[in-house]
Amino acid sequence: MPELRKDPITQEWVIVATERARRPSDFTHLTIAEPDKPEYSPTCPFCPGKELMTPPEILAFRQGREANTADWWVRVVPNKFPALAIEGDLHKRGAGMYDMMNGVGAHEVIIETPKHHLDPSVMTVEQLAEVLWAYRERYLDLRKDPRFKYILIFRNHGKVAGASLEHPHSQLIATPMIPIDVLNELQGAETYHKFHDRCIWCDMVQQELDQGIRVVNDTEHFVAFEPFASKYPFETWLLPKQHQASFPMMTRERVVDFAGLLRDTLFRISRCLNSPPYNFALHTAPCGNEDSEVFHWHMVIMPRLTIAAGFEMGTGIYINVTSPEDAAKYLRETTVKAEESLAEQVNSDEPVESVEQIADSRPEEQPAKVEVKL
């Protein structure tokens, strides 16, 4: 029998169509084969040496101190075609019964590596931790702007998932309102906290760790699992084990720990599902609510394995053809270690550093961070 499952946070229902259950191999025909990418592309505006093809950088981690030069390892620039404009006032107004305001916000691109062919599943933990640290830096800067109510950091991987450029990058958009999906999570979390005096995500993390059947992997501080009411096949959540409302409040050591779990999870998804397109989104507390007792930050990874059709679009009820329990089992049983794959895929003679080595060696001697204010 199919199952109807209710998300305990948003109260949304999903259908887990167990009689149509699909194995990882059943999804491979839905992915679009893409040619192997070179380490450097002479036409790519995100590759080193092409810094003048992008707007001037806002933030860069680099060896030298001169902005917009080629010695960086993470670089943040304004989106050349922004969804929202950084300049101007909101000018909220009505048009009869309708509400509107100016499209004010921030839209930035985080260029994750100088290497055109890498993605987070095969980066070193150290490099991915630097990307996550850039997320943190940009959030802490943008939250100072009173016009911005919410900051979403997300990644589109593959053309099917909406990536228009293949060089590894993620994006940040700051909005002057709290998006409805975040409001729904907030309202559900507040209702739960009112009756239980506990964070709903904290209880969820503890139950998933106790049961284990939907857990993919965990570290000292974080856990990755398939949510009970997954909308999408192989949808995966990553959360801190201890309560924390806002991602940017993390220490450097915990960012490295999270980078290790994120890379491991993305590697498992890539290997298990034949490098599918995916999106991930970082859900964090709204600006000004970083100490919230009810919100718990989390990253949602959504492989693009099925297409939403008329039923989903007409009802908002998603049909998931792979149960979360099966998906977690498949991902857990993906046994090839990310560390072994890295040495093969990036053709490196250097051993991959462990999370512990990187945490211990986080440098006082780290080369300069260059930040340029627009």
> Which residues are known to be catalytic?
169
Which residue type sits at 108? E
Q: DSSP string covering 99-122, please?
A: EE---B-EEEEEE--S-TT--GGG
CA nearest to 215, candidates 259, 260, 263, 265:
265
Distance, in Å, from the CA atom of 191 to the CA atom of 179, rounded to the nearest integer, reads: 18
The three-state DSSP-derived secondary structure of 67-101 is CCCCCEEEEEEECCCCCCECCCCCCCEEECCEEEC
CA nearest to 237, candidates 251, 254, 218, 252:
218
Distance, in Å, from the CA atom of 29 to the CA atom of 298, rounded to the nearest integer, reads: 30
CA nearest to 221, candidates 247, 263, 256, 257:
257
CA nearest to 352, candidates 255, 221, 264:
264
